[in-house]
Amino acid sequence: MKLHIDIDCFFVSAHRIDNKKYQNIPIAVGNRSNLSIFDINSEKKDFSMIDGAFTSSIVSDNQNKSFEEYFIDKNKKMKGIITTSSYEARKYGIKTTMSVKEALRLCPHLIVLPPNYKLYHDISHKFKLLLEKEIPQIEQFSIDEFFCDLCGWVSDDDIYDFALRLKNKIFQELSLPVSIGISNSKWIAKLATEDAKPYGIRYIKDEDIYNYTKDKSISEFPGIGKAYQNRLKKYNISTLGQIRSNKKLFYSWGKFGIQLYNRVCGTDNEKILLNQDKKSIGLGRSFEPLYNREELKRRIIILSRHLCFIANKDNHSPLTYALQITYQYQNKNKSYINTNREFNELYLKQQMILLFDKIDTHPTHGVVQINLTLSNFKKSKHITMDILNYEEDNKMKKLSDSMHKLRDKFGIDIIKSAEEIKNNNR
């Protein structure tokens, strides 16, 4: 039997741990694109203890910033969106991705807090440590979600009581309210968690899966996004029961169709994923339309430094570098290179700038987003690297490693290149 555990209103719950004044009132956490990474002045940043592609490795906090400092820009305009809201706030119609301005119009006494990602990562890490003491097999699915496998550990007859004790223990030790879904299927358990909220438990036995799922909308099932929903609606499929009735259709769609069908039926038999290796790491930022190409290149260099630090911290040696830019009209261009050069900061920066020159096919358009990705990690030290550039690469790698040691000790902004501190007109 498997559990899916989700922290209720995680960001809000995190702020409530040491601030009891936030209990039982409408409260939300908002967010703006974090552009402080591009500031010439140094910013305090921390390295997350959480592993996983779902979260950034470098985090910063805004705990000392007021609402005005974080959400009001230099032109006195309110910026930002809601990322999480309490159940008290949701009664007023507050929703995720709603603008902060709209949320305050619906609920003028709503308290909107700046995010504190360091706090969230620290709490998530403590949450994981607690679960590891209670359950032998766990999978961290997101910063606030875990799958747990109790097969051979807790009998089916005792599973509900175990989940109840675990829920109470989490609240007693961490002051975190969690909801728990239980099923033999990971994805039915995750679906059940939504019905367990807030602060509840929902147990779906095998014989109850059909009646439980048959009338549910396809939009409720994990993994069925809007694009796939639109595809299914062309076949007049809008409920999970209708998916179940169309086995032949889904099996004709190949691997993903078969996988989705079995997940909906609760017959997927997917195991908990332990010690997952990262397939890639990335870093990006969104911002107001930016036309200055020199400033864009400066930002790419800064993101490259941070991404190189993450890769070095995780002992990754990527062989594929990718860059994607998004223009203000949502046109996207991307490209990548495969290399056998020894990974180092200078070479990464050079290649990312070359990729930008290659993909910036609309030089008069404003750019609103930059994303850098490293992948294809070298599995063995015995892979033959570029012989012609071996001496230079080895020298640059040693320099890069030395800089990262200083950054690890004194902060990632302790050493910057000259290109980073240019004060370009933005």
pLDDT of residue 63: 64
CA distance 70 to 59: 16
Long-range own/partner contacts, residues 192-200 (CB < 8 A, 24 or more apart)? 192/4, 193/4, 193/5, 193/6, 194/220, 197/6, 197/8, 198/8, 198/9, 198/87, 199/8, 199/167
pLDDT average, residue stretch 109-133: 93
Query: Average per-residue pLDDT in the chain?
Result: 88
| pLDDT, tens digit, 9 for 90 and up, residues 126-181 | 999 999 999 999 999 989 999 999 988 899 999 999 999 999 999 999 999 999 99
Q: How many CB atoms lie within 10 A of CB 299?
A: 23
pLDDT-above-70 percentage for the chain: 90
| φ, ψ (nearest 5 deg) of residue 76 | 70, 20
Q: Nearest Cα to 3, choosing from 174, 133, 187?
A: 187
- Read off the pLDDT of each residue in 286-302 and give the average, rounded to a whole number: 92
* Dihedral (Cα; 271, 276, 277, 282), 10-degree rounding: 110
Give the pLDDT of residue 49.
53
Which residue(s) pair with 30 in the sheet?
82
Q: Can you tell me the mean pLDDT for 213-235?
A: 92
pLDDT of residue 70: 84
The Cα–Cα gap between 298 and 162 comes to 53
- Taking Cα atoms as reference points, which of 96, 100, 72 lies closest to residue 86? 96
Instruction: Give 219's DSSP letter.
Output: G
Task: Pick the more confident residue, 390 or 223.
Answer: 223
Instruction: Report the distance separating Cα 110 and Cα 87, nearest Å.
Output: 12
Give me the helices (H) in 197-326, please.
209-213, 226-233, 240-244, 247-251, 255-265, 293-313
CA 334 to chain centre: 21
HSE-up (13 A, CA, CB side) for residue 176: 28
Instruction: Quick: pLDDT tens for 372-421.
Output: 999 988 875 545 556 667 677 777 778 777 877 777 777 777 777 878 87
pLDDT of the residue at 56: 53
Q: Report percent pLDDT > 90 for the chain.
A: 61
pLDDT per position as a tens digit, 241-269:
999 999 999 999 999 999 999 999 999 99
Look up residue 156 and give its DSSP letter.
Answer: G
Average pLDDT estimate for 200-225: 94
Q: Confidence band (pLDDT; 50, 70, 90) for 53?
A: very low
